């Protein structure tokens, strides 16, 4: 069998699997997002709008989602910093630390929350684990009812590792942004003026 035949065969065989998995991912995201407590997200949105500055901290893919959220909050005109960046200042009273950890035990994220609390800042967290150390440090808590990264056999999700948590985290932060944007009543053209121009 030559590579052309193998490639064509592989593509044809894969079409059905792709369609099935798109449906699986879409349905898991929709079902999980629908089970988030809207009041928890509303409390988080209120905390963001009242903060002097917003700091975000997360590890791995959750951290990448929070970086995307930070960009959107910056577009709204908020002062936003990403923990670990070389220009990020010290957090202090009046500030908000926004964090995410599926397990609620990610050491760097928990440490960041502890530092924020010690500095007099507020903490808002996304997690799957209401009884976690991160949850205990949080002033505002949003529970995403997905599986934890190492929870491979629970049946909560058929996706690998923490994928469902990270996907729904993105949707949740986008919903918060959309809500804050709606409250601000600012046209998209004005937000776009803040978009990076050193790309």
Instruction: Report d(CA 13, CA 34) in Å as an integer.
Output: 33
Following CA atoms 56, 109, 39, 75 in sequence, which dihedral angle do they give, to the nearest 10 degrees? 10
pLDDT one-digit tens code per residue, 177-190: 999 999 998 999 99
In the chain, what are the domain boundaries? 3-192
Catalytic-role residue among 12, 140, 166, 174 = 166
| pLDDT score for 45 | 98
Using the predicted structure, report yes or no on whether residue 149 has a pLDDT greater than 80.
Answer: no
189 included as an active-site residue: no
Instruction: Report d(CA 90, CA 110) in Å as an integer.
Output: 17
User: 3-192, superfamily in CATH?
Assistant: Glucose-6-phosphate isomerase like protein; domain 1 (3.40.50.10490)
Using the predicted structure, report yes or no on whether residue 127 has a pLDDT greater than 70.
Answer: yes
Q: Three-class SS of residue 121? A: coil
Sign of CA dihedral 82, 87, 93, 95: negative
pLDDT one-digit tens code per residue, 91-101: 999 999 999 99
Using the predicted structure, report yes or no on whether residue 158 has a pLDDT greater than 80.
Answer: no
pTM greater than 0.85: yes
pLDDT one-digit tens code per residue, 15-46: 999 999 999 999 999 999 999 999 999 999 99
């Amino acid at each position: 069998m030559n590579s052309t035949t193998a490639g064509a065969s592989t593509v044809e065989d894969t079409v059905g699997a792709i369609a099935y998995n798109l449906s699986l991912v879409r349905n898991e995201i929709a079902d999980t997002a629908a089970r988030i407590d809207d009041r928890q997200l509303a409390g988080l949105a209120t905390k963001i709008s009242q903060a002097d500055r917003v700091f975000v901290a997360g590890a791995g893919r959750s951290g990448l989602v929070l970086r995307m959220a930070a960009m959107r909050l910056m577009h709204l005109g908020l002062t936003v910093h990403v923990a670990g960046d070389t220009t990020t200042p010290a957090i202090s009273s009046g500030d908000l630390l926004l964090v995410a950890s599926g397990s609620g035990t990610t050491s760097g994220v928990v440490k960041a929350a502890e530092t924020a609390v010690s500095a007099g800042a507020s903490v808002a967290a996304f997690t799957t684990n209401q009884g976690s150390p991160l949850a205990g440090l949080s002033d505002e808590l949003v529970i995403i009812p997905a599986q934890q990264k190492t929870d491979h056999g629970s049946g909560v999700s058929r996706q690998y590792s923490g994928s469902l948590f990270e996907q729904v985290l993105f949707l949740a932060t986008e919903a918060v942004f959309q809500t804050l944007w709606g409250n601000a009543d600012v046209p998209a053209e004005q937000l776009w003026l803040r978009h990076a121009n050193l790309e």
